[in-house]
A = this chain, B = another copy of it.
Amino acid sequence: MLRYLDVQTVISLIRKTGVEKSLSLLADYLADDFKRWNEFHKSPRAACHSPQGVIEVMPIADGQFYSFKYVNGHPGNTAKHLPTVMAFGVLAETETGVPILLSEMTLLTGLRTASTSALIAKHLARRNSKRMAIIGCGAQSEFQILAFKAVMGITDVVAFDLDAKAIEKLQRNLAGTGVTIKAASSAREAVKGADIVTTITAAKAKQAVLTPDMVEPGMHINGVGGDCPGKTELHPDVLRNARVVVEYEPQTRIEGDIQQMTGNFKVTEFWKIITGAEQGRSDDQQITVFDSVGFAIEDFSALRMMNDLAKAADAGTALDLIPDLADPKDLFALLTKGA
């Protein structure tokens, strides 16, 4: 049976589990999968670019499951009252190729990006981190903040956005969650004294949201918005002065903030840190950066979690997307005898 989770079913499952609990549970699934990094068949994403945007499929597999996510990126969509990013994904059995789950992933992409940031910060930020600055209060900001609360206990947030209404939306959406969100009047003001700095701005341009003079010793920088060619947020010197961690190096070299650096600029893949193969932070003075772009393994983890949640709750509906053949060698019988 192919189980189908539409948007409302995913919302219901996340609400039933609890948003914060879902984010921390997803961080557990992510940790499990990053620890098994070498068991995965990793492919580059297959991207089709057009003048208006990009459409990608992101496949990955281990011995048990295969997954892919369909995701677009069309900056002009908001003017048409469409989301910039829309996504759905499929989980299949590696041994047979049978698809077992089709799920919405527009919402799940928000969750998995945030849980990945929080998981990686847990391994890189100072242990006593208390305050997070967030630069950019768009569609991802609530997820990021709640993931840092769920995984690291962060409840003290200072937010900045060029659009004051975006900060108000963030404050409104997270009212009653126990997170204090103070509005700053500049990125510089927001960052001052923060333990963790999350940059997650929308402009598709080479920006320097964070410059070296704003960065304090020991900060962890969670750089989320520099995630495709031509879109960066961190000044090159911020990267140069830091220990930089990435998901999957070949992809991040093209899409991440490190696209500004030469090919020999040193980065560390996160799986090496979570497995203990390499050290994380060296001391409380070191500056650490997670250069997030989003990798297929994170969608794999999200689909695996949703499959488990849906099975436990008996949620979703069955789709007849694959024929049930009386004789697998007689496909034509479908046309004469029906499904």
Contact = CB atoms under 8 A, between A and B. Distances in A.
Interface in A53-90: 53, 55, 57, 59-61, 63, 66, 68, 70, 72-74, 77-78, 80-84, 86, 88, 90
- The secondary-structure label for the interface of chain A is mixed
A104 B332 contact: no
B61 A323 contact: no
A11 interface: yes
A240 B162 CA distance: 67
B61 A55 contact: yes
Interface stretch (A41-49, A186-194, A222-230, A244-252): A41-49
Contacts of A99: 70, 86, 88
A311 interface: no
A75 to B, nearest CB: 11
A80 B96 CA distance: 9
Interface in A137-190: 138-140, 142-143, 166, 169, 173
B173 A333 contact: yes
Q: How many protomers of this protein does the assembly include?
A: 2
A7 to B, nearest CB: 4
A328 B55 contact: no
B320 A7 contact: yes
A279 to B, nearest CB: 32
Interface string A298-314: 00000000000000000
B142 A332 contact: yes
A25 interface: no
A329 B166 contact: yes
Q: Interface size for chain A: under 10, 10 to 19, 20 to 34, or 35 or more residues?
A: 35 or more
A82 B328 contact: yes
Given A43-B48, A94-B50, A332 B139 contact: yes
B107 A82 contact: no
Given A46-B59, A86-B322, A99-B70, A334 B7 contact: yes
Contacts of A63: 50
Contacts of A4: 319
Nearest to A97: B72
Given A6-B320, A43-B47, A72-B92, 17 more contacts: A15-B335, A41-B49, A43-B48, A46-B57, A46-B59, A77-B97, A78-B329, A82-B96, A82-B328, A86-B99, A104-B320, A106-B322, A107-B335, A140-B331, A143-B331, A173-B330, A173-B333
The 10 closest A-B pairs by CB, nearest first: A72-B97, A142-B332, A139-B331, A6-B320, A48-B61, A7-B339, A8-B339, A7-B323, A46-B46, A78-B328
Interface of A: 4, 6-8, 11, 14-15, 19, 41, 43-44, 46-50, 52-53, 55, 57, 59-61, 63, 66, 68, 70, 72-74, 77-78, 80-84, 86, 88, 90, 92, 94-99, 102, 104, 106-107, 110, 138-140, 142-143, 166, 169, 173, 319-323, 325, 328-336, 338-339
14 contacts: A7-B334, A8-B320, A41-B50, A46-B46, A48-B66, A52-B94, A52-B95, A55-B97, A78-B328, A78-B329, A86-B99, A138-B329, A139-B330, A139-B331
